[in-house]
Every structure is written in C-alpha cells, then in structure tokens.
Amino acid sequence: MINIALPKGRLGEKVYKLFAAAGYEFPGMLDNNRKLVFENEELNMRCFWVKPFDVPVYVERGTADIGAAGKDILLERNPDVYELLDLKAGFCRMAVAAKNNFQDDPEKILRVATEFPNIAKNYYSSIGREIDIITLRGSLELAPVLGLSDVIVDIVETGTTLRENNLSVINFIEDLSARLIANKSAYKFKGNIIDEIIRKVS
Ligand code: PRP
C-alpha cells in the first residue's frame, strides 16, 4: 500500500486534481466534509489530508510514503526526505515586505515578524544583519502596520494583501511552489511505484 499525505487547503486541492487527472482518484476527497482519510482499494493506495505544515512530519516518519508540501515549509522545517518533483502548482515568492515609506536604519536591530523563523534567520544571517524575530501565526501584514515589527518575511502571491495594507516588497528571498517529497526508506523499497506516480503526475 502507498500512503500519500496532501496539504489540506487550496494548494492540496490543486495537487489532488493533478493526481486525479493522472488516474489516482480517491472518491470523496473534494467533497465538503470533515473526512480525512480516503482509500482506493483498486490502486492499493491511501490518501489523507494533513495540515500543510505537518506534511513533512508524516513523510519523514514514514506514515506517508510520499506527500506534497510547499517549498516554504520544506525550507522552514528542513525534513530528512527526498524532494523528487516540482509539482508546478502554487507558485509564489518568499519576500521581505515593509510599509511603503519604510526607511531602514542598518545600525538598528531589525524587528522581523514571520511565520517562518528559520527562513528569516537564514536569510538575514546570509546578509549579516542582526534581527529580532517575532513569530506569528498568519495575518503578518498587521505587524508593520501596527508597529509590532519593522518588516515581515512572508509569502507573496498576487501582492494584493501587501498593496491593500500599504506595504511593499523590499527584498526577494526565494521562489516557491509545491514539491513532491518521499520518505527515504519508502523510496528504497517502493521506488518503482513512486517513480511511476512521478511520471504520471509530471
Ligand atoms: C498568505 C500570505 C499573505 C497572502 C499573500 O496568507 O501570508 O498574507 O497569502 O497572498 P497575495 O499576495 O495573493 O495577497 P494566507 O492567505 O495563506 O493566510 P494567513 O495570513 O493566515 O497566513
């Protein structure tokens, strides 16, 4: 049996549609209910919805053989898994944003609000800037608007959220998209099936 972890939400639905179009269908997965685990006996596969941030945990520990995770989450969690395929869905960017009139003072410690403390730390250590990390759970745009932070390190897709809150991108960090990841020992023992899935969904 192959176990597949998909991220619950918009990105996961896009990825599920790629799987379904490739012949890996799990009836009921897109129904609006609270069921989390779906099995296709014919394929001998099981697919389940997990919180996006948790996909690498299920895959690293082998509960899922494969999974789909945003590159942002992989960079943040740095799991010990194989990253096998760019699923070319959910394109966006990790960036630093600040108020439109923000004037950086390089002498001051920069207050950075983010949901991605490791990505932020890595980025600022790569440019040698001392920062004070403020970890938040979503709606990051509020932080510079209300003065909690100087900047945010966040995902930018269309840029609408920044624009509507009078913020703009000041530094680009990384291009992001959904990636197919695999548990290392599952790939060793079920590599043929996983490679076939990759061929069909890519
Ligand atoms: C993400 C991100 C931005 C927004 C960017 O938030 O954190 O807030 O999307 O998208 P845009 O550039 O198209 O406006 P999400 O909707 O995932 O919710 P969150 O704020 O709770 O993280």
Phi and psi at 201, nearest 5°, equal: -90, -15
Give me the tens of pLDDT residue by residue for the chain, a chain 202 residues long. Answer: 999 999 999 999 999 999 999 999 999 999 988 999 999 999 999 999 999 999 999 999 999 999 999 999 999 999 999 999 999 999 999 999 999 999 999 999 999 999 999 999 999 999 999 999 999 999 999 999 999 999 999 999 999 999 999 999 999 999 999 999 999 999 999 999 999 999 999 9
Closest atom of ligand 1 to CA, residue 157 = 12
The protein residue with its alpha carbon nearest to ligand 1, atom 5, reads 156
Residue from 137, 154, 158, 162 whose mutation best tests the ligand 1 pocket (most atoms within 8 A of CB): 154
CA 93-69-62 angle, 5° bins? 155
Look up the pTM and report it: 0.96
Query: Ligand 1: distance of its center to the CA of 140 in Å?
Result: 8
Protein residues with CB under 6 Å of any ligand 1 atom: 138-140, 154-161
Q: From CA 96, how far away is CA 111, in angstroms rounded?
A: 12
Q: From CA 65, how far away is CA 168, in angstroms rounded?
A: 39
Q: From CA 153, how far away is CA 187, in angstroms rounded?
A: 34
The predicted pLDDT at position 32 comes to: 87
Closest CA to 197 of 62, 33, 30, 68: 68
- Do 178 and 11 meet the contact criterion of CB atoms below 8 Å apart? yes
The predicted pLDDT at position 194 comes to: 98
Residue 97 neighbours by CB under 8 Å, 6+ apart: 141, 144, 151, 152, 154, 156, 162, 167, 168, 169, 170
Closest atom of ligand 1 to CA, residue 159 = 12
Query: Ligand 1: distance of its center to the CA of 79 in Å?
Result: 23
The predicted pLDDT at position 33 comes to: 87
Q: From CA 78, how far away is CA 119, in angstroms rounded?
A: 10
Query: Ligand 1: distance of its center to the CA of 105 in Å?
Result: 27
The protein residue with its alpha carbon nearest to ligand 1, atom 19, reads 138
The protein residue with its alpha carbon nearest to ligand 1, atom 22, reads 138
The predicted pLDDT at position 133 comes to: 98
Query: Ligand 1: distance of its center to the CA of 185 in Å?
Result: 34
